Amino acid sequence: MDSLQSYWDLIVKLSASYAPKFLLAIITLVVGLWIIKRIVKIIRKLMQKSSVDASLQSFLVPLISILFKILLILSVVSMVGIETTSFVAILASAGFAIGMALQGSLGNFAGGVLILLFKPYKVGDYIEALGFAGTVKEIHIFNTVMLTVDNKKIFIPNGAISNGPITNYTAEPMRRLDLIFSVGYKDDIDKAKGLIEKVIKSDDRILSDPAYMIAVGQLAENSVNLTVRVWCKTDDYWNINFDFHEKVKREFDASGISIPFPQRDIHVYQH
């Protein structure tokens, strides 16, 4: 009975000593998480008002939130009475073990940092990387989110995308549109070139500087291929591409210029 009483006394003593600390730690944790949530919202709004790059926002805001939460946990642990130095050492050891197990994730994190530092692309750019093409919607800590033209989301690890070739189609304000129009060998080349030039001059979206080019690019098996190169604003690229083909086809039809297709002349000899 004496031993039970002594155990009970010890429990009561420890409860009286640590219960207030645990209660205060829990309150601090709940209030701290709420404050961190508010601070992160304020930081996000300040970044938006300061016109901070959207790519940087999507990367930094989660990182700041994680750092604040780590500091809060360390504070709560010290309030309970655990030595923070020992706790930090344990966290460091655990972090090293986790880091070894998650080398790919760390590589993706490093890739995200490189993307934000060197900016091969940003949110809103249309890029092609690792065999995928789409508009960059978000750049997260570990991956880049792309939206394809047919509205599919693609998640690409930052480590892989930062170590591979990236084609950024919207990085520059201007693009060159290369087109090929085929005419028959019996058609008047100068007339066909004049019709193409007429289409070019009728479209205000096509830039005059740099100058356009119309030239014979190839004497193919069944046609004479005319190479056309025009410059335009990047945003107008695809609209001009589609419109140009339709307008040239209509001009060729109205002027009797043929657009040849593969064909063969068969000669039958009778002996």
**Is 69 inside a domain boundary?**
yes
Amino acid at 245: H
Whether residue 101 has pLDDT greater than 50: no
Please check whether residue 78 lies inside any domain of the structure: yes
Instruction: Tell me the whole-structure pTM to 2 decimals.
Output: 0.61
Rounded CA gap, 210 and 230, in Å?
8
Amino acid 27: pLDDT: 81
Of 77, 101, 125, which residue constitutes the final position of a domain?
Answer: 101
State what percent of residues in the chain have pLDDT above 90.
Answer: 39
Q: Which range among 100-104, 167-171, 183-187, 188-192 shows the weakest confidence by mean pLDDT?
A: 100-104
Q: What is the CATH number of the domain that holds 157?
A: 2.30.30.60
User: What 8-state DSSP symbol labels residue 102?
Assistant: T
Residue 166 has pLDDT above 80, yes or no: yes
Q: What is the pLDDT of residue 245?
A: 94
> Among residues 65, 8, 73, 66, which one has the least CA distance to residue 42?
65
Band of the pLDDT at 242, cuts 50, 70, 90?
Answer: very high
Confidence of residue 102 (pLDDT cuts 50, 70, 90): very low
Q: Are residues 201 and 221 in the same domain?
A: yes
Could you tell me if residue 261 is inside a domain? no
128 torsion bin: left (phi>0), alpha (psi -120 to 50), beta (else): beta
What is the Cα–Cα distance from 196 to 249, expressed in whole angstroms?
Answer: 10
- Find the distance separating the first CA and the last CA of the chain, reported in whole Å: 129
Task: Give 78 or 119, the one with higher predicted confidence.
Answer: 119
Do 52 and 96 share a domain, yes or no? yes
Mean pLDDT of 214-232: 92
Query: Which of 99-103, 157-161, 179-183, 195-199 shows the lowest per-residue confidence on average (mean pLDDT)?
Result: 99-103
Q: Answer yes or no: do 12 and 96 share one domain.
A: yes
Domain presence at residue 260: no
**Residue 64 and residue 120 share a domain:** no
Question: Does residue 154 lie within any of the structural domains?
Answer: yes
Residues 131 and 179 in one domain: no
**CA distances, 212 to each of 48, 200, 227, 230 (Å):** 41, 8, 11, 5
Task: Answer yes or no: is 220 within a domain.
Answer: yes
215 vs 209: CA distance, rounded Å = 18
Lowest average pLDDT, out of 53-62, 71-80, 130-139, 200-209, goes to 53-62
The residue among 67 and 261 whose pLDDT is bigger is 67
Q: What are the residues whose beta carbons fall under 8 Å from the beta carbon of 261, sequence distance 6 or more?
A: 222
Mark whether 16 and 93 lie in a shared domain.
yes
Domain identity same for 140 and 191: no
Range of the domain at 72: 8-101
When pLDDT is cut at 50, 70 and 90, the band that residue 232 belongs to is very high
**Torsions phi, psi of 71, nearest 5?**
-65, -40
* Domain final residue pick, 101, 119, 134: 101
Q: Under a CB-based contact definition with an 8 Å cutoff, are residues 164 and 130 in contact?
A: yes
Total tally of structural domains belonging to the chain: 3
Give the range among 28-32, 88-92, 115-119, 214-218 with minimum mean pLDDT.
88-92
Is 159 in the same domain as 181? no
Residues 121 and 188 in one domain: no
Give the residue, 69 or 129, on which the prediction is more confident.
129
Q: 77 near 84, Cβ under 8 Å? A: yes
- Tell me whether residue 266 is in a domain: no
Beta carbons of 84 and 97 less than 8 angstroms apart: no
Using alpha carbons only, what angle is made at residue 61 by residues 59 and 67, rounded to the nearest 5 degrees? 105
Per-residue pLDDT tens over the stretch 108-153: 878 887 887 788 998 899 999 989 999 999 888 788 999 999 999 9
Q: How far apart are CA 200 and CA 188, in angstroms?
A: 19
Residues 196 and 213 in one domain: yes
The residue type found at 21 is: K
Return the percentage of the chain with pLDDT > 70, whole number: 77
Residue ending a domain, choose from 58, 81, 101: 101
